[in-house]
Homo-oligomer: A and B are copies of this chain.
Amino acid sequence: MPKGRKRQNRKRIGRWTAQRLAVLDEFLQGGEHLSARDVYQRLREKEINLGIATVYRSLDFLIEIGLLRQYDFGSGEAKYELNDDEADQHHHMVCRVCGKVINYSKFVKRGLSLVKDIKMELEKNYGFKINSHQFEFRGVCGVCGD
């Protein structure tokens, strides 16, 4: 669970700086469910030294323009991933012992009609406008299980 304070509201428009590009690039390079510290350390290894606050701000920026998405898998820090189209969105499977997360995309298509009906129901009966959904499974992975 991420400690610390709730994210504050920020301005909408932003500039494409070298720092923001560098952060995005870590995800385009194939990084899956990276934390802010993961990104910070990976960049540092490449001698691209951003302040950790800038990493957080860049992640927020990339979320705001729709390129990234934030998740919490109970590890104590937020994780970030490239934002899939809804139709391609993957599920997550989290090992509650070692914290390993697996991206899993089978049955997504089958779930779509269910998701669609739930969204319609929520909008009609509760006045909610739904933007995204997430399925998460928890258990014990093969390594941690006996």
Contact = CB atoms under 8 A, between A and B. Distances in A.
A136 B134 contact: yes
Copies in the complex: 2
Contact of A129 (B104, B117, B119, B140): B140
A21 interface: no
Interface of A: 1-6, 70, 72, 74-78, 91, 93, 95-96, 102, 104, 106-107, 110-111, 114, 117-119, 121-122, 126-143, 145
Nearest to A79: B1
B137 A135 contact: no
A130 B121 contact: no
A82 to B, nearest CB: 17
Contacts of A95: 128
Contact of A131 (B122, B128, B139): B139
Contacts of A75: 6
A35 B126 CA distance: 24
